[in-house]
Amino acid sequence: MVTQGARGIPEIPFTTAEAQARGLTRPELRGRGVTGVSQGLYRPADWDFTLREAARALCAATPGAWISHSTAARLHELVRPPWLSDSNELHFSKARNLPQIRRKGITAHRVTAFDDEVETDGNLRISTRARTWLDLARILPLTDLVCLGDQLIRIPRPEFEDRQSPYATMESLRAMVGRHRNLQGIVHARESLDLMRVGADSPPETLLRLAINDAGLPEPELQLTLWNGRGTPSADAGYRSRRIALQYDGAHHLDEVQRHSDRRRDKAFEAAGWIVLIFTDADLADGFESAVHRIRAALRQAWTDPAIASGFASGS
């Protein structure tokens, strides 16, 4: 809500009610310092656009509405394809039993939503991350929808993140999909659920796994540890029975401290007799086509390498 104070034009978008609370008159709202956005919604003429401030004012001016779709995805910082990553489009949703409202330059949706699919974030009503995933099932390509889904069900690392639980679980997403059987994109959502896996820490890791599946290769295990116990080196993915570790080292792995940690990690796997395959942004750029060839070759090598074959026999 816009803070009340001395009479004057707010520095962020505001509603008619908020203007009245500050004592602004109609002539002032029609003056050069104010721009009318749509019915009951204004902004200062010199305002520098920020999505969250625009979304807050939109919700305040539209009783019963909440921010949704790609706007919610951006505010939640969910993974999105490049063509949607910087979108400033404003989307909001209302329950089907509420009157339809049209606002210039703003996309309104009338939907069926349950109470646990909308949340309050500060002074903003917004679809939950799970419901945002479902809403975007209508427009996102399948691979992008799977990347987003993997982000939701990923187990967080408390040492790096201020949370201990995933944003959603496979069970909760399936339950949500089950109660929206006629929603546009619902078939796409079901297909995405079949491809989602817990354990992908980034979209490239998901895309690598999908490329492996598309090539007809065995599906790798995710977040594969070398030994049991805390502090053990781990691989992003791999095949324990064939001692093959797959690592995706993105841009942040170029940091010298991270590179040193990566080298220690990879040497630990190699010392235990594993094949370590490292992939980078260059592999991502070619759709992991060359990565798939390398993985296929490593799988063939694993069957013919005596040291690895003895591991199969011993179960190690």
Same domain, 26 and 40: yes
Final residue of a structural domain among 171, 195, 219 = 195
Per the CB < 8 A criterion, the answer to whether 57 and 14 are in contact is: yes
d(CA 253, CA 261): 9
Same domain, 172 and 66: yes
User: For position 303, which CATH number holds?
Assistant: 3.40.960.10
d(CA 95, CA 112): 6
Same domain, 39 and 68: no
* Residue-wise DSSP of the chain: -PPP-SSS--SS-EEHHHHHHTT--HHHHTSTTEEEEETTEEEETTPPP-HHHHHHHHHHHSTT-EE-HHHHHHHTT----HHHHT---EEEEEETTSPP--BTTEEEEEE---GGGEEEETTEEEE-HHHHHHHHTTTS-HHHHHHHHHHHHPPP-TTTSS-SS-S--HHHHHHHHHT-TTSTTHHHHHHHHHH--TT--SHHHHHHHHHHHHTTPPPPEEEEESSSSTT--EEEEEEGGGTEEEEE--GGGGSHHHHHHHHHHHHHHHHTT-EEEEE-HHHHHTTTHHHHHHHHHHHHHHHH-HHHHHHHHHT-
In the chain, the number of structural domains is 3
Final residue of a structural domain among 161, 195, 229 = 195
pLDDT of residue 300: 93
> Domain span at residue 181?
52-195
Same domain, 78 and 168: yes
Ordered mean pLDDT values, 10 residues apiece, the chain (316 residues):
57 84 83 82 84 90 92 96 90 87 83 96 94 97 98 89 92 97 94 97 97 97 90 93 93 66 92 96 96 96 65 44
Same domain, 183 and 81: yes
Same domain, 223 and 121: no
pLDDT of residue 308: 53
Same domain, 258 and 290: yes
pLDDT of residue 270: 95
Same domain, 239 and 280: yes
Same domain, 297 and 237: yes
Same domain, 93 and 186: yes
Per the CB < 8 A criterion, the answer to whether 47 and 89 are in contact is: no
Final residue of a structural domain among 9, 24, 48 = 48
Same domain, 180 and 273: no
Same domain, 138 and 169: yes
